[in-house]
Amino acid sequence: MKLKQWLASARQSMQEQPIGTLLTLLLGLLAIILLSLYYRVYLDDEHWEKFKVEHHCELRISKTGTQRASWACDDGKTYFRWRQQR
């Protein structure tokens, strides 16, 4: 019963303020997209920490002594991690 009332209220709101309703839906969708991107990066960082230990990755240092965002691993590949520049 509450679902029918909520749908009726939403329909009435859309008829009275279509632009406001559209903006609300777009902001909600944007919030969902941003949260999903944040959690994907968080999970990727967790995977990277495990990978870095398993493959004995070492941060490369430039000739000037500054850190770069590249990692040399024992599999012979170089990995670039922008989040590791912190």
Residues of the chain with pLDDT under 50: 84-86
User: In this predicted structure, what is the pLDDT of residue 82?
Assistant: 65
SS3 1: coil
The pLDDT, as a whole number, for residue 28 is 95
Kindly list the domain boundaries of the chain, sorted by start residue: 1-54, 56-86
The pLDDT of residue 85: 45
What is this structure's pTM?
0.49
Give me 69's structure tokens.
Answer: 């965002």
pLDDT for residue 61: 79
Residues 6+ apart with CB under 8 A from 10: 21
Per-residue model confidence (pLDDT) at position 66 = 66
